[in-house]
C-alpha cells in the first residue's frame, strides 16, 4: 500500500476504483471492442482521448456518456496533470487513442508515466493492436519479435535502418503508410535475402483486409500488380535472418558431430544450448546437412510412429 492509498476517496459501490484505465480500441472493426473495454468506458468519469471526435463516435456506439478531453502529442504534459488531479479526487479516467492500443506508436506514455509518478493505479484494458494482429496471422516459427514502429521517412535513413535490421535474429515488425509502402517494399527486396518471408497486413479487420505472405524478392512485383494493394493502412513483418555464414561453419561441425551420435531433434536441442541459435533452425540445418528436408523427416516419423 502506498502512503497515498489511505488518503484517496473510496469509490461508490459499483463504480470503478479511482485510477487510469488504458483502454485499447478497435483498429477497424467496431465489434473488436472488448466487453471489459465497453464496461470501463461506460463507467469512467472522464475519457482522455487522442481525438475527441473519434472517441465520441465510439462512445456513442456503446451508449457511454463520460466527459471527454483531448490528450494528444501536443498537449500531453498538460493533460497528464489534469488526469492526475482527477484521479486524486477519486475519479476513474480512461485513456484511449484513435485506434488500437495507446502507447503503441500512439501518444499516452507521458500520461501513464505521470500517473505512476503520483503513485496512483494504472490499469491495462488490453485489446486490438495492429502489431499483434499481424503477428497472430504471420505463421513465423520464431517467437521473438522486434517492433520498430514507423521506419524513418527519409529514403536514405529508411534504407540504412532496414540494412541494420536485416540480420536480426528476431522477427522485425513495422508500421507503414500508403505513401511509402512501395519504397519500403523496394528497400526490403534490396536488403533481405530473396527467400526471406515477408508478411504484409493491409486494412486489418476492415472490409478490404488483405494478408500477403511471400518471398522478399517477389514483393515489389506483387505490390505493383494491383493499385488496390497499395491503399490503406499497413503493418509489415519479416522473418528472422537465417544463421549467417560466419556462424554456420563451426555450428555445422557441431551438428555433424552430435548427429553422428544422436537423433536429429536431440542433436538440435543440445546445439541450441551450446550456441545462440534456435533449436528449430538448427534442426532444419541438421536435416540440410544430411540432405533431407523437414517434410521428409515428418513423413518418415509419420510412417514409423504406429
Ligand atoms: N496504436 C495502434 C496499434 O496499437 O496498432 C497504432 C497506431 S499508429 C499511429 C497507426 C499505424 O498502425 C497505421 O499507420 C498502420 O501502419 C498501423 N495500423 C493501424 N491500424 C491498422 C490496420 N487496421 N491494418 C493495418 N495496419 C494498421
Which CATH number covers residue 213? 3.30.950.10
Position 30 pLDDT exceeds 80: yes
Ligand 1 centroid – CA 150 distance (Å): 10
> Are 171 and 202 in contact, with CB atoms under 8 Å apart?
no
The pLDDT value given to residue 305: 32
The pLDDT value given to residue 86: 97
Residue 146's contacts (CB-CB under 8 Å, 6 or more residues apart) are 165, 168, 170, 171, 172, 173
Question: pLDDT: is 300 or 46 the higher one?
Answer: 46
The CATH number of the domain holding residue 52 is 3.40.1010.10
**Gap between the Cα atoms of 199 and 234, Å rounded:** 10
**Gap between the Cα atoms of 301 and 281, Å rounded:** 19
Whether residue 14 is contained in a domain is answered as no
148 lines ligand 1 (CB under 6 A): no
Mutation test of ligand 1: which of 26, 27, 30, 150 has the most ligand atoms closer than 8 Å to its C-beta? 27
Ligand 1 centroid – CA 35 distance (Å): 21
User: In the chain, what percentage of residues exceed pLDDT 90?
Assistant: 78
Q: Has this prediction a pTM greater than 0.75?
A: yes
The pLDDT value given to residue 296: 56
The pLDDT value given to residue 204: 98
How buried is 99 (Cβ within 10 angstroms: 0-12 exposed, 13-18 middle, 19+ buried)? Answer: buried
Residue 139 and residue 85 in one domain: no
Of 70-74, 150-154, 181-185, 292-296, give the lowest mean pLDDT range: 292-296
**Gap between the Cα atoms of 79 and 67, Å rounded:** 14
Residue 29 and residue 72 in one domain: yes
Range of the domain at 43: 19-128
The pLDDT value given to residue 242: 87
Among the atoms of ligand 1, which is closest to the Cα of residue 132?
5
The pLDDT value given to residue 9: 55
146 lines ligand 1 (CB under 6 A): no
The pLDDT value given to residue 298: 53
Position 4 pLDDT exceeds 50: no
**Gap between the Cα atoms of 99 and 28, Å rounded:** 8
129 lines ligand 1 (CB under 6 A): yes
In Å, what is the CA distance from 300 to each residue of 148, 182, 293? Answer: 41, 43, 11
Among the atoms of ligand 1, which is closest to the Cα of residue 134?
25
| Mean confidence (pLDDT) of the chain | 90
* Mean pLDDT of the region 7-26: 79
pLDDT in tens, 96-145: 999 999 999 999 999 999 999 999 999 999 999 999 999 999 999 999 99
What domain count does the chain have?
3
Residue 107 and residue 35 in one domain: yes
The pLDDT value given to residue 288: 85
> Are 237 and 268 in contact, with CB atoms under 8 Å apart?
no
**Gap between the Cα atoms of 169 and 291, Å rounded:** 24
177 lines ligand 1 (CB under 6 A): yes
Pairing of strands 92-96, 19-23: parallel
- Domain boundary among the residues 191, 207, 238 is at 238
Mutation test of ligand 1: which of 24, 30, 100, 184 has the most ligand atoms closer than 8 Å to its C-beta? 100
Amino acid at each position: 500500500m502506498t502512503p497515498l492509498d489511505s488518503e484517496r476517496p473510496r469509490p461508490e459501490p459499483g463504480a470503478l476504483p479511482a485510477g487510469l484505465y488504458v483502454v485499447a480500441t478497435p483498429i477497424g472493426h467496431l465489434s473488436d471492442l472488448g466487453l471489459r473495454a465497453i464496461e470501463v468506458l461506460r463507467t469512467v468519469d472522464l475519457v482522455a482521448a487522442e481525438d475527441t471526435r473519434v472517441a465520441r463516435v465510439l462512445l456513442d456506439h456503446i451508449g457511454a456518456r463520460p466527459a471527454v478531453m483531448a490528450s494528444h502529442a501536443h498537449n500531453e504534459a498538460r493533460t497528464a496533470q489534469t488526469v492526475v488531479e482527477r484521479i486524486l479526487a477519486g475519479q476513474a479516467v480512461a485513456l484511449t487513442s484513435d485506434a488500437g492500443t495507446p502507447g503503441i506508436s500512439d501518444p499516452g506514455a507521458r500520461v501513464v508515466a505521470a500517473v505512476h509518478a503520483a503513485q496512483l493505479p494504472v490499469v491495462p484494458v488490453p485489446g486490438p493492436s495492429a502489431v499483434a494482429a499481424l503477428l497472430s496471422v504471420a505463421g513465423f516459427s520464431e517467437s521473438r519479435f522486434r517492433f520498430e514502429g514507423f521506419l524513418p521517412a527519409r529514403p536514405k535513413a529508411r534504407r540504412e535502418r532496414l540494412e541494420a535490421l536485416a540480420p536480426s535474429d528476431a522477427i522485425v515488425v513495422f508500421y507503414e503508410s500508403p505513401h511509402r509502402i512501395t519504397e519500403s517494399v523496394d528497400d526490403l527486396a534490396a536488403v533481405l535475402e530473396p527467400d526471406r518471408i515477408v508478411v504484409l497486413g493491409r486494412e486489418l479487420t476492415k472490409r478490404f483486409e488483405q494478408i500477403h505472405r511471400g518471398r522478399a524478392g517477389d514483393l515489389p512485383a506483387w505490390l505493383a500488380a494491383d493499385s488496390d494493394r497499395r491503399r490503406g493502412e499497413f503493418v509489415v513483418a519479416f522473418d528472422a535472418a537465417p544463421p549467417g555464414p560466419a556462424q554456420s561453419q563451426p555450428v555445422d561441425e557441431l551438428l555433424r558431430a552430435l548427429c553422428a551420435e544422436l537423433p536429429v531433434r536431440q542433436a538440435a536441442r543440445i546445439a541450441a544450448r551450446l550456441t545462440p541459435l534456435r533449436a528449430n533452425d538448427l534442426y532444419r540445418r541438421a536435416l540440410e546437412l544430411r540432405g533431407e528436408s523437414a517434410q521428409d523427416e515428418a513423413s518418415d516419423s509419420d510412417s514409423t510412429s504406429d
